[in-house]
Amino acid sequence: MIKLTFVQADGTQVETDASPGMSVMQAAVNAGVDAIAAECGGACACGTCHCVLSQDWFGRVAAPEADEVDMLEFVIDPQPTSRLSCQVVVTEDMHGITIRVPASQV
């Protein structure tokens, strides 16, 4: 299992285990991270799973595809390392990643 840590806007940390191949969004939903609403169920159509990676981790996961880049234009307060968690696939290399949930997701 791969250990992921979600840091919510209030500073609360939620640690969870994820399996390779699942989305970061699904891991967040399974762990009860309320701010990851995932309203479209992972179809890259709503932006309610917006998260922010550190610069180091952003460069270590697969780059966002064009449809994700387009959808990120509609999230509140996008950051240079913003991602839609539904589009980030968990890999073995992600063990120990910390994912910040922006205050705009509350």
pLDDT tens for 13-66 read 999 999 999 999 999 999 999 999 999 999 999 999 999 999 999 999 999 999
pTM of the model: 0.95
Q: Is residue 89 part of a domain?
A: yes
80 residue type, one letter:
P
Q: Is residue 57 part of a domain?
A: no
In the sheet that 50-53 helps form, which strands lie side by side, from edge to edge? Answer: 13-18, 2-7, 97-100, 50-53, 82-84
Q: Is residue 101 part of a domain?
A: yes
Q: Is residue 88 part of a domain?
A: yes
pLDDT higher than threshold 80 for residue 1: yes
Task: Based on DSSP, count helices (H) and strands (E) in the chain, helices before strands.
Answer: 3, 5
CATH code for the domain of 68: 3.10.20.30
- The total number of structural domains in the chain stands at 1
Distance, in Å, from the CA atom of 71 to the CA atom of 34, rounded to the nearest integer, reads 21
- Which residue range is the domain that position 97 belongs to? 2-52+62-105
